[in-house]
Amino acid sequence: MIAHQQFIREKAEIEYKEAKNSVPKDLWHTYSAFANSNGGFILLGIKENEQGHFPELLISGVNDPDKVIDELFSQSCSEKVSKSLLKDNDVKIFQVENKSVIAIYVKAADILDRPIHLNGDYRLSYVRLNSGDHKLTSSELRSFISSYSQKDADGRIVPYASIDDISLSTLDKYRNLLKAHNSTSKLLTLSDEKLLQEIGAYKKDLAQNSEGITNAGLLMFGKHYAITSIFPHFFFEYYEEAGDVKRYTLRITDFDLEEGNLFEFYLKIVPLIQELGKDKHFKLDNLTRTEENEITDGLRKLSSMQLLTQITLTMFAI
């Protein structure tokens, strides 16, 4: 028996299971939960005694650990789970109180592989909440899949796309905005390809032995024909209406720009939005009178900070 003081740690990252002769059925619930969260350890051959004020661990042991490990890997490579994450060095046998205990490390799954689910059924997807395995509800599952597919979509490499599909004139405008914000930025010394790579518009995927323009890079800096060939429903517009009259006083779409990408659109509409947000509050800036309010200040901060760092786009164009 191990007193509670000897095993206190983040319970969100460790789970104890009794496993005398075989892999416990509920092990895969925990496997899914760890894989869809931050990873963790499963210890087989230990029973957690919840009675009393302080929990205790009872070392029950695994009778034939090699057999159980073979069973574990066999199930992990079957249709039992959507993705096998276990490697040989992730599973170890330890001797505790002259009994065998199996320690299993389950790493957090890659975004592309989430959610890790059971029996080919996405509804059997789990996440780790505190010290328990929580099966995602239908609404939680939809949100979970949407959030991870969104993250993946931005960085996905566009097949067959190259630097030739990037508008270099747009990229020059990006450099100019970057220079105005930070004239000493190291990004200004990089080649076009290296610059795109640093801001997430170009990616080298070592695992897949591939490289190229990402979805985010194409949408932000791409030539219009290249964008619409990948995202046929790509469209954006900015318009102003006068009063209650349902008539545009100004309307701009991607077709009105030399290169209909998101950065050109941004450069076009931000001055218009700033103009709409102006009021008659003034301040002196380098001895030049400038109009200023919370809207224009917020827009300027948005332009100089968010667009000059990592590109993260909402893939409304899909």
Domain architecture of the chain: domains with CATH? 4-155 (3.30.950.30), 163-306 (no CATH)
φ, ψ for residue 65 (rounded to 5)?
Answer: -60, -35
State the CB neighbour count (10 A cutoff) for residue 135: 15
Strand partners, 126: 135
pLDDT in tens, 131-181: 889 999 988 888 887 776 655 677 888 988 999 999 999 999 999 988 988
The two three-digit tokens of residue 42, written as one number: 């499963």
pTM: 0.50
With 0-12 / 13-18 / 19 or more C-beta atoms within 10 angstroms meaning exposed / middle / buried, residue 192 is middle
11 pLDDT more than 50: yes
Residue 86 · residue 72 · CB < 8 Å: yes
122 pLDDT more than 80: yes
The two three-digit tokens of residue 111, written as one number: 């975004």
**What is the pLDDT at residue 204?**
84
**What is the pLDDT at residue 289?**
42
Q: Does residue 300 or residue 231 have the better pLDDT? A: 231
**What is the pLDDT at residue 192?**
94
300 pLDDT more than 60: no
CA torsion, ordered 94, 95, 96, 97, to nearest 10 deg: 170
User: Can you tell me the distance from the alpha carbon of 188 to that of 225, in angstroms, rounded to the nearest whole number?
Assistant: 27
Closest-CA residue to 32 (of 23, 42, 22): 42
